[in-house]
Structure 1
Amino acid sequence: MRSQPISIEQAPYKENREKTLAGIEAYTKEKMPDLDMRYEEVCFVYKEANKVLGRIVGHVHWDHLSVELFYIEANTRGKGIGTKLLEEVEKIALEKHCKYAFLETMSFNAPVFYQKNGYNILAQIENSPAEGETRYFMKKVLYIE
């Protein structure tokens, strides 16, 4: 009996991500049929005088908000724009009955900012993404039933 050839190939990110997510969702639905399978993107920009000064991108999935990307223009940091954007995305998450918010940040980014906004460090990886830096995984409880 001849074995079939095996290959591992690079795939287009968007298509592969969508198909992978669909497979995971189908498996999860099979194992947990009563779980709310929603997946909703949330995305906001902060503008002043028609100029974008900040952006936040994430998604609501199952019982949580995942903040994926968050950026404030350098010359406007420290002026409350980040807090306003974070509060807006958390407000949407609360309206959708999310219990938690999760995010990842780096020591050279804004872990103290997130802590001031109610996030706690769940885990950290030292010397990542570079020697002397730390990668943080953070969570905020939005509400408890």
Structure 2
Amino acid sequence: MYRDASVQERHQGTEPLKKINPTSVPIEKKESIRWLDNVRQSTELLGDPGRCVHVGDRESEIYELSCAAREAGTHFVIRTCVDRLAVNGDHTIAGQIDEVAVKGLHCIEVRNNNGDPDEAVLKIRYRKIRVSPPIGKQKR
């Protein structure tokens, strides 16, 4: 969940917490604007946007970032947490990735819930995907 999405307001101290719909808040009023600022600043400093690849975690998975990177002529790799619509809105990112062969395996040591050592196998898959706007942003 995005940090911005967990914003809650308390009204008059006695009412229950009210959850704010993060899609109704403009990106300019969210902490997430820093991701867009980073794209703009780094491409200006580099002077060659096509050589710039932005890498983001799940917090950076916002549609506006993909739009800003595309407009700037840069590239990006983002770890997703939401299975967004892709292609022409008739597929999802997960469906597109499932069609790709595993391109790398990495074994890493982790700790389980008891703190005991364990091993996790990471399967690496990637491909270029056209991400469709979220339903609430398709008219913009």
Same fold, TM-score > 0.5, yes or no? no
TM (norm. structure 2) is 0.32
Greater percentage in helix: 2
* Structure with higher strand content: 1
Q: TM-score, normalised by structure 1?
A: 0.31
